[in-house]
A and B are shown apart, each in its own frame.
Chain A
Amino acid sequence: MATAPRAAAAPSYAKKFACAGELEQYRQALIERTDPAAPRILVCCGTGCKAVGSLDLLEAMKGAVSAAGAQVRVMPEIKRTGCHGFCSRGPLMSFQPENLFYQRVQPADAEEIVRETILGGKRVQKFLYTPPGSKEPIATVDEIPFFAKQTKLVLKRVGRIDPFDINDALVHGAYKGLVKALTEMTPAQVIEEIKTSRLRGRGGGGFPAGVKWESCAKQPGRHYIICNGDEGDPGAFMDASVMEGDPHAVIEGMAIAAYAIGSDRGFFYVRFEYPLAVQTLTRAIRQAEEMGLIGENVLGTRFTFKVSISTGAGAFVCGESSALMSSLEGKVGRPRPKYIRSTERGFRDSPSNLNNVETYANVPEIILRGGAWYTGIGTERSTGTKVFSLTGNVHNVGLVEVPMGSSLREIVYGIGGGIPNRKELKAVQTGGPSGGCIPIPKKFLDINVGFGRLAEIGSMMGSGGMIVMDENTCMVEVSRYFISFLVGESCGQCAPCREGLTRMKEILTRITRGEGRPGDVELLEEIGTFTNSFSLCGLGTSSANPVLSTIRYFREEYDAHIRDKKCPSGVCKPLFYYEIDPATCTGCGLCRVKCPAKAIAGEKKKPHTIHQDLCIKCMECYKNCKFTSIRIM
């Protein structure tokens, strides 16, 4: 895996701020120094854009601008930012102050952009975003539905600031919440404010944060503050983007929690697959410490709070709170029974408050604007916003933040832009491996996404992964996939989870191979219900959800596999084959060229055929055919 390279030396500050007033003076000076009308180019360097080469683009832009040198009237500032959210269109950049949005930009395009846009003041059509099904390109961020329909609270600075530069965060209001808590509020008032906001944990459980803080604060002894940045849910990257894009929001939230609970020591637990998050956090902690925003005697007060980062080592179960604490102690991460509360005896057997990244990132705004303001967003039972990582078979894959209670329709169609390739939407999976698949369009497209409602229909909110599945998704295979994931991640200490999952995996694997037997579904239901009822920790007690929810809503697919030995979606390889429909095949030859197994033959302009013995069912022909002539049989 990529290892975090050491960050370059940060600019250092003459001294720590001795009081809140000094910080505000410094912030004011920074704001006055920055001209809002000055040109700035924000290049997205989140993990998604980085994977498609945005760091090269950043360098190319810097190179091209300095090559243009004296020709440029006002030198634009080229800023490396966190995730802009619109990952499927990367690499992305936006031009401030006009908010012009360019997408799918390659390093080789830098020169043209400097020539046309920076020197010539023109918009280059090919870099503008055109929504699917439309011919009209949209020029600015505010007009693009993907952005316009979101409510950014947690993500307000993500993608706008340089996460490696604390000054940029300060200009945009970082640490104002901490200052207010330290100078105007008592710890009890802070807790009261969080309780008023009815903020619920964003890590999946939805436990009220204020209540947790209060019960932790009551305990005697040294208190610890822990941030859960493990984000084990595969296909979810909300927490990563927050840590990578606005690390100070999380640090500030933790510091406020520490002040409220009476703690002087905090830990980040970040999974090792997120080297960029570790890098930004490391730098952010150092910069905040140098300014005296964390560390000893914060802003000259008696409040002291030290923060450090630990990395995980690849275990999903370490996202569970007690397992995480044991992993923080350098041990294996095995969850313990729930009756021992971490708020009483957690890390080092001391009272510990563990919250999710996004939970902490919500805190500063709540303190600044008040809990009552926060309850105005979202629903009665689920206040505030939620960040989702919208992935799978949807046009606009990326990071979206919406008020709690938004409908799936709004998220998938309004923001997500619907399903590509004229396919039908089949299901939306939420809650990660322990969540469920919500069938659509049958009944639930207008369901409001919040903590309560999703649980009622057999899924859960989870930490915010939202995976859209089209008609080419086999629900039996999806449930096999999640169960097999959980078999690998179960810590193995309790029998229901260890054995139940293994047996379910065996049965599901058989079914997807075409060896299913009558009665398998009932057996799965029995084992699943048992596993969910009697396992020790949260992993086990929700582990059968993918199986139970798919059986509940997609029973006919199980039957097709078991009875007819067919995979109607064309996923389970032994249960289908591809065929070319001679009536619609134009003989364009694209599939023949794309086939890596050389299994397709045919003359130009004549219908092609697939050699079934050679076909590896890799889907290349199916994906690439422009005339939907490849059929799943």
Chain B
Amino acid sequence: MPEAQAICQEPEVDFTVLDRIIFDDYGGNREAMIMMMQAIQRQYRFLPEPALQYISQAIGIPLTKIYEVATFYASFSLVPKGRHIMHVCTGTACHLKGSGGLVQHVAARMGLDGGGTTPDLKFTLETVNCLGACAVSPVVVLDDRYYPKANVGQLNRLIEQIDTE
């Protein structure tokens, strides 16, 4: 189970960073909780449990409510993500140009079941719905770099690069 292993590697949570996000950037405003959580996720690439507990105390929202939000929205993750993150767009335009096949192909090569993170935390595969670049579909984004008109051969080369790291 990749997830179980991943949880063992909780990073140290720096509470001064949390204070900065919660109070300096968002003024402790409960309505800004989603954006606080996004900022925390940018920091750690997922939502560490101690950070969620800290928000709960800091702005007085029950932990269950925070978990409800964390599991409702697709962009939040409760387990760490890989060092390399690949997003394959599966919006309609990209789907028509075969992005479903790209997802299957990458998942099979990395031994993932349709998506997720490899046990060594090297690589995460995720799908997104439309990145607004439909003209150059199918679009793949690896570590924030766009690969327009992606194809299997090109993705194989990208994966090989990651493999050899």
Contacts and interface: CB of A to CB of B under 8 A. Distances in A.
Given A88-B135, A314-B75, 6 more contacts: A47-B133, A48-B135, A52-B136, A235-B134, A330-B34, A391-B137
A359 to B, nearest CB: 19
27 contacts: A48-B135, A51-B136, A51-B139, A52-B136, A52-B146, A87-B135, A232-B129, A233-B130, A234-B91, A272-B75, A273-B130, A310-B32, A310-B35, A312-B73, A313-B38, A314-B75, A315-B72, A332-B69, A391-B93, A391-B137, A392-B96, A397-B135, A467-B92, A473-B96, A618-B101, A618-B105, A618-B151
A47 B30 contact: no
Q: Which of A1, A328, A467 has the most CB of B within 10 A?
A: A1
Interface of A: 1-3, 47-48, 50-52, 87-88, 90, 232-237, 240-241, 272-274, 310-316, 327-333, 389, 391-393, 397-398, 429, 432, 465, 467, 469, 473, 481-482, 485, 488, 491, 594, 596, 616-620
Interface in B63-98: 65, 68-69, 72-76, 87, 90-96, 98
B152 interface: yes
A619 B30 CA distance: 50
B144 interface: yes
Q: From DSSP, what is the main secondary structure of chain B's interface residues?
A: helix
A234 B130 contact: yes
A549 B113 CA distance: 32
A87 B134 contact: yes
Interface in B1-53: 30-35, 37-38, 42
Q: Which of A90, A313, A467 has the most CB of B within 10 A?
A: A313
Contacts of B148: 51-52
Contact of A315 (B74, B101, B137, B141): B74
A391 B34 CA distance: 32
Contacts, number: 152
A481 B92 contact: yes
A232 B75 CA distance: 14
Given A48-B134, A315-B72, A315-B73, A234 B129 contact: yes
Contact of A90 (B105, B135, B144): B135
Give the 4 A-B residue pairs with the shortest CB-CB distance, closest first: A87-B135, A235-B92, A234-B91, A313-B73
Contacts of A491: 72
A328 B96 contact: no
A23 B121 CA distance: 55
B153 interface: yes
A313 B132 CA distance: 16
A473 to B, nearest CB: 6
A336 B4 CA distance: 36
Contacts of B132: 47-48, 237, 240-241, 273-274
A311 B72 contact: no
B58 interface: no
Contacts of B68: 332
B128 interface: yes
Given A332-B69, A596-B156, A398 B135 contact: yes
Interface in B90-134: 90-96, 98, 100-101, 105, 128-134
